[in-house]
Structure 1
């Protein structure tokens, strides 16, 4: 990794925690004397109380730090599908956190769905643009940044959006060789600490429930990443990742 890179796990509407991490990135990168960039691993919206504010912070970071990347998560995709027209899973999405997202955009009880779609698109064009332009995978040097993971039966350049946004078992249970280290979220880890398993780095600490939002820092001068977590009670601090051994995950 040639640049100081901070990868942030699933935010899920916790703009308060994301703001703490972004403030920390400003200070930490200045202390390191390097220009940072941020990779958001997706699921910025849904479940938590302020999806609109969280997406504002993502956009501000993309503007502030050139080279930063917002990767699409499955919940971001659900929101985008809603904004773009009739969604086949609209009711299911509402039950899985979409209702909190719409409330953060000022939705009121009884508001016509089509009117709500048009209003959000009109009032927040940059939000729609950012969602539309978000890639679902980023490959750099020996790393893959992605929301859920990759299909281990395919090369990284042949991954499809559905797998990158939704995969669990076939990726998490895979014990064969991986060509890259996969940095991902989507599947919550236990204990509110990032987990390293073979060539996988899992970053979803369920911020909307636990109050802990986690981040991985890749400094080009250091051979190993470092990990940080934030909560409103404890602020931001460095944490140790949990290491799980996994047979056969080194590339052959």
Structure 2
């Protein structure tokens, strides 16, 4: 830790709490289940008096079972409040489509068709009638509990020397003053910045072949929907390690 910021090697989690931060799921319920099983096994073999599981957003789109992922996370959060979730840009894009159907937005062009099918709805985004009818059917198919879940997602969490958000932060801006849109959308201004931040930023949003561990940030998006690899960061005091599960690509 320096006056200018926190280096990953020096960063520590909060005393007495083990953190598990999970990258982008994108409809891969199979991998999310495997990751939770791996976390439960880790806690069984290495018990800890307190813990948090942080999901970094992008639960929907692209993969085959967005509805199942939402069901799983809602149930997990009800069973234990230490299961925590924050928003990704794809959850916001889903809500925007449900509020104002469009063939031009994120949902239509980036895996929303798969999300709709997981709710039992096929949408023809490219004809006015198909868009209108598909949107109406999807509104009917999405349970109220899912609306509440997506709308209730926060944009960030902070524990110890680590700041958790979906996409990243605007460098040079205090963490408390970050634009909520930057937290779910930012890319190159953040990714290309090599200086230290007030805390180490743990994020997803930009898929990579493997977890990126840099001095100022950790990128946990390993493209689970396509690669079949879901990754997490485990933080226990000064100790940090990567946990990964694999399935079919």
Q: TM-score range with shorter-chain normalisation?
A: 0.7 to 0.9
8 Å CA contact 1:11–1:43 kept in 2: the answer is yes
Contact 2:121 2:138 in 1 (8 A): no
* CA–CA separation in structure 1 for the residues paired with 2:248 and 2:135: 40
**CA–CA distance in structure 2, aligned partners of residues 150 and 204 of structure 1:** 16
1:119 is matched with 140
Tell me by how many angstroms 1:90 deviates.
5.2
- Please list every run of 5 or more consecutive structure 2 residues that lacks an aligned counterpart in the other structure: 1-13, 124-129
Aligned residues of 1:38 and 1:65 also touching (Cα < 8 A): no
SS across alignment from 2:114: helix
SS class of match (1:225): strand
Question: Structure 2: how far apart are the matches of 1:179 and 1:131?
Answer: 29
Counterpart position of 1:59: 74
Please tell me whether the aligned partners of residues 7 and 217 of structure 1 are also in contact (alpha carbons under 8 angstroms): yes
User: TM-score normalised to the size of structure 2?
Assistant: 0.85
Structure showing greater relative contact order (alpha-carbon pairs closer than 8 Å, 6 or more residues apart): 2
The reply to whether residue 183 of structure 1 matches residue 202 of structure 2 is yes
State the distance in 1 between where 2:60 and 2:150 align: 11
Q: Do 1:11 and 1:44's aligned partners in 2 also have CA atoms closer than 8 Å?
A: yes
CA distance in 1, matches of 2:163, 2:138: 33
Q: Aligned-pair RMSD on alpha carbons?
A: 1.9
Aligned partners of 1:51 and 1:101 also within 8 Å: yes
Partner of 2:91: 76
Conservation of the 8 A alpha-carbon contact between 1:151 and 1:163: yes
CA distance in 2, matches of 1:216, 1:33: 17
Helix, strand or coil: the match of 1:112? helix
The answer to whether 1:207 aligns with 2:208 is no
- The alignment partner of 2:197 has SS state of coil
Q: 1:26 aligns with which of 12, 32, 40?
A: 40
Give me the whole-angstrom Cα distance separating, in 1, the residues matched to 2:122 and 2:211: 37
SS of aligned partner of 1:144: strand
Instruction: Please list the CA deviations of residues 136-176 of structure 1 after superposition, one character each: whole Å capped at 9, or x if unmatched.
Output: 11122211100000001210000112111111111011122
Q: Secondary structure at the match of 1:229?
A: strand
